[in-house]
Structure 1
């Protein structure tokens, strides 16, 4: 048994923004949602969905176990993390039956499991793959990052090394877990604040509620804002976050984009700059799940404001920077998946100008009522989305 916790505990997996209780509410995958989807969409015998705003969703792979992240290899293969603790391979439009071998055991509990992946900037020569996942027990765990060498046929991970771990916590919520390399070759890692530890997000001496920056071998870059450890943990890049679930490096603009779950309301899209404090929980546009006030403050000196926010919540998930010819009129814009928040179950198009200023947002495919976990651009400019369900589906999205 390769998982630290029985697979049945996936039924308790939660989404940070969708509940009205003190703990985040469960991911929803039920008969009524399926019925709503069928009512809202024209569905063919091949399970192709068509939204009212003119998008066609064609299944690429079905029956995935809570798909979480999608990335593409130079060969065109797609790798998909399943939150239950596997990396799956989609090749030539087919989901291969066997997962990637040699991957680490994980804690499958609450929101814990496998999270994000990233390819080394020199992947073509070294085939190094990076994976973030929940490590530990329900009583003590954290977000951990490993690297390993992916075989030429993508069937096995070898030379696996643990290169980074966050501060231990006693909760299985809010792990963060997104990974992205930026232009200087360093790796950015999002670290959730563990839900119960929200006040620690204002303390950069630990990794709760931070975005970390490390070298590809796990060492600390010398130009990190707290590299000497005197005023903050060495790998901390930014702090004051709640649960960052989307990371994108925008090479053309030189911007690191991140979005994070608020509590009940107050989801945020931010521009990430080193050393900045993004405010949680000292300032927020949200309230507790039971409606009680966290703080009256929505701004404060020395704390960053989001470039856009969502009240009520959309439960943002994956995020992609649009490129390629298929959606050329959106080139350089952001697409964000939205799961099960009060205003979730859609894709959000964030329209950006050349400088990265937000011109507006548009909800897409909302009538399909699909909780979207991830959004990814393929190597030829194709758009792919993954659902947040236990019986997950990956769709290719095209305009009609």
Structure 2
């Protein structure tokens, strides 16, 4: 493997914003280090035998089994720049039958300098990835180092959803469905595109697009009861969002936002506009969210049903209590242990969390 270096329309808003520094630290939690000494564990998943596959953003997949780490060979070339690298990993819903493992990563394939987010799949045999297939490659390549996305989720019907950020070109990509980037996509498990996708029959549109107007979604999960696709995404300075993804909808970036430029200047005066979706929740100041999972098991008592979101900026796991479609309470878990990159509930019912420069930890409730 090689690593290559206006008119304002009044809309009733039910969105809730919470000042982040007022969130209390929950002391009823602890953790157990399961996989130590990881740098940026961008994604991870459990194999049926209980071992783990972990992606390091730098371009390595680690197989962790019986307390030992082994690197897996057979990866394609990874484009490593800024936020780009080896990103998410998940198993096919019927993995024991198909053997497919799915990846998101940055690739420099195709014309032009730089790279862009790519979705691929492979099978694992004797610590080597085989049968590698590229299912989707965003174009064109870009030398910008920001906003690659990219999370992967299968829904109950077997469709694969993935996210790609706007690649730092907010004025060109997110609102244009003829262009990749700043979108949530839906494909079949073999990479073909469902003919009921919202823009499948739209001339000039990217047929795999499911929703658009996104900035940089680095969290995505399936709601355990409603089976809706939930995402969160990085805002600019302020305006990180939680969204419920709906077919063909426009989530507004950068026409509407609750954030401002990093310099503090405005790029829009609008927080709402007809035809654009409102977030379920937004953070101001931004927490820099990454990773996302619901607690759906009985391992954590009355925490069941809560949403967990990692914070890169403030270095904790944000536990969001949701009532009637609103985040009504937030609490800090795993506070101060490092940048929380990835969050998953695994088959044993426990929550596992990837923390930069620490490793994969199991969340425990005291």
Stretch moving more, 262-271 or 53-62: 53-62
Alignment partners' CA distance in 2, 1:231 and 1:187: 22
* Aligned with residue 207 of structure 2, among 223, 227, 234: 234
Partner of 2:18: none
Partner of 1:36: none
Equivalent-residue separation in structure 2 for 1:58 and 1:210 (angstroms): 36
Alpha-carbon displacement from aligned partner over 1:310-331 (angstroms, at most 9, x marks no partner)? 0000000000111222113222
- Structure 1 residue corresponding to 2:30, chosen from 46, 50, 56: 56
Is the 1:244–1:260 contact (alpha carbons within 8 Å) kept by the matching residues of 2?
yes
Structure 2 partner of 1:373: 341
Could you tell which deviates more after superposition, 268-277 or 115-124?
Answer: 115-124
Across the two proteins, how many residue pairs are aligned to each other? 344
Instruction: State the SS of the aligned residue for 1:167.
Output: coil
Alpha-carbon separation, structure 2, partners of 1:265 and 1:128: 38
* Corresponding residue SS for 1:202: coil
Q: Provide the residue aligned with 1:121 in structure 2.
A: 93
Secondary structure in structure 2 of the residue aligned to 1:368 = coil
More helix by share: 1
Deviation at 1:359, TM superposition (A): 4.4
TM-score, normalised by the number of residues in structure 1: 0.82
Gaps of 5+ in 1: 6-50
Paired with 1:224 and 1:208, the residues of 2 have a C-alpha distance of 17
Give the CA deviation at 1:91.
2.0
- In structure 2, what is the Cα distance between the partners aligned to 1:70 and 1:328? 25
Q: Which runs of 4+ in 1 moved over 3 A?
A: none
The question of 1:393 aligning with 2:366 is answered: no
CA deviation map 1:171-218 (0-9, x unaligned): 121000110111111100101101134442011111210001111111
Shift of 1:231: 6.0
- Aligned equivalents of 1:357, 1:231: Cα separation in 2: 36
Q: Residue in 2 aligned with 1:215?
A: 188
Tell me if structure 1 keeps the 8 A contact 2:39–2:359: no
**Equivalent of residue 351 in structure 1, options 321, 343, 356:** 321
Please tell me whether the aligned partners of residues 324 and 331 of structure 1 are also in contact (alpha carbons under 8 angstroms): yes
Q: Is the 8 A contact 2:338 2:358 kept in 1?
A: no
Structure 2 unaligned runs (5+)? 6-24
Query: 2 CA distance for matches of 1:234 and 1:56?
Result: 45
Give the Å deviation of 1:367: 4.2
Q: Is the 8 A contact 2:170 2:254 kept in 1?
A: no
Helix, strand or coil for the counterpart of 2:37?
strand
Equivalent position to 1:290, from 241, 252, 263: 263
Q: Do the aligned partners of 1:346 and 1:363 also contact (CA within 8 Å) in 2?
A: no
Q: CA RMSD in A?
A: 1.8
- In structure 2, the residue matched to 1:78 is 52
Question: Under a length normalisation based on structure 2, what TM-score does the superposition of the two structures give?
Answer: 0.89
Give the equivalent residue in structure 2 for 1:43.
none
The answer to whether structure 1 residue 108 and structure 2 residue 80 are counterparts is yes
Q: Distance in 2 between matches of 1:303 and 1:75?
A: 44
Q: 1:52 to 1:280 in 2, by over 3 A?
A: closer
1:369 is displaced (CA, Å) by 5.1
